[in-house]
Amino acid sequence: MTARLIDGKALSDTVKSDVSKRVLSLKEQGIVPGLAVVLVGEDPASQVYVRNKAAACDKAGLHSRVIRLASDTTEGELLDVVHELNADTTIHGILVQLPLPAHMDASLVIEAISADKDVDGFHISNAGLLMTGQPLFRPCTPYGIMKMLEAENVSLRGAEAVIVGASNIVGKPMAMLLLAAGATVTLCNSKTRDLGAQTRRADVLVVATGKPGIVTGDMIKPGAVVIDVGINRSADGRLVGDVDFESAKAVAAAITPVPGGVGPMTIAMLLVNTVEAAERGPAERGAA
Ligand code: NDP
What's the whole-model pTM score? 0.97
Task: List, for residues 99-145, the tens digit of each pLDDT value.
Answer: 999 999 999 999 999 999 999 999 999 999 999 999 999 999 999 99
Residues 6+ apart with CB under 8 A from 50: 37, 39, 66, 97
Using the 8-state DSSP alphabet, how is residue 166 labeled? Answer: -
**Neighbour count for residue 166 (Cβ, 10 Å):** 18
Task: List, for residues 157-214, the tens digit of each pLDDT value.
Answer: 999 999 999 999 999 999 999 999 999 999 999 999 999 999 999 999 999 999 999 9
Tell me, yes or no, if 53 is annotated catalytic.
Answer: yes
Q: CA-CA distance, 8 to 254, in Å (whole number)?
A: 12
The CA-based diameter of the chain, rounded to the nearest angstrom, is 56
Phi/psi region, residue 67 (left: phi>0; alpha: psi -120 to 50; beta: rest), is beta
Structural domain boundaries in the chain:
29-117, 140-263
Helix axis angle for 171-180 and 124-131, nearest 10°, is: 30
DSSP string, 193-230: S-HHHHHTT-SEEEE-SS-TT-B-GGGS-TT-EEEE--
Domain 140-263 is classified in which CATH homologous superfamily?
A: NAD(P)-binding Rossmann-like Domain (3.40.50.720)
Q: Which CATH number fits domain 29-117: 3.40.50.10860, 1.10.1040.10, 3.90.79.10, 3.40.50.300?
A: 3.40.50.10860
Closest-lying ligand 1 atom to the alpha carbon of residue 242: 32
Task: List, for residues 16-68, the tens digit of each pLDDT value.
Answer: 999 999 999 999 999 999 999 999 999 999 999 999 999 999 999 999 999 99
Tell me, yes or no, if 117 is annotated catalytic.
Answer: no
Specify the 3-state DSSP secondary structure of 160. strand
Does ligand 1 lie within 6 Å of residue 214's CB atom? yes
**Residue 128, amino acid:** G
Q: Is 166 annotated as a binding residue?
A: yes
